[in-house]
Amino acid sequence: MKLGFRMKHYFYNAFREIFVHHHGSLTFRAKIYSLLIAANEKATVDNFIIVKQHGSTIYKNDKDRANLLLLSTKELVQKVRDNNGLGIDSLIQSIQSDLKVAPRYAKKIDINSLKEFLNLTYDEDTLAYQNSILEFLETLKNETLNKTNR
């Protein structure tokens, strides 16, 4: 990434809520990706390449926004790995809380695209854990959408 973008990212990071359009939506997506990546202790750069590809698909005409998704995901994964006040459980709670406040975010959980991360996992226990997370996300998505459609 360009130096200019990195500097802009650090500036945006400090004032994300003010300068990033729909920052809540972007942060929610970053939490979803981070949840699956952080569940794999042996995650590689390939996981972040998938996030970048998804970001480019989601934000077709906005490379900066796709890069912000990638960098936000990296930040969250690093916080989980550093045990910096954020763990898998608190990330799950945060996702649930976001869905209570903004149920429309449930539409942003694309289970089929998230399954790509499973192809990068070679440990059976980690794979089972990630599958459980995907099942949880799918149930959470369906329950949230069912509540809003009533």
| Each residue's pLDDT tens digit, 18-64 | 444 446 889 999 999 999 999 999 999 999 999 999 999 999 988 88
| Each residue's pLDDT tens digit, 107-136 | 999 999 999 999 999 999 999 999 999 999
| Each residue's pLDDT tens digit, 64-115 | 889 889 989 999 999 999 987 788 999 999 999 999 999 999 999 999 999 9
Find the length of the chain: 150
DSSP string, 46-81: HHHHHHHHHHHHHTTT-HHHHHHHHHHHHHHHHHHH
CA-based nearest residue to 69, from 44, 49, 89: 49
Domain count, the chain: 1
pLDDT value, residue 148:
80
Domain extent at residue 103:
3-148
pLDDT value, residue 92:
95
Output phi, psi for 83, to 5 deg: 55, 45
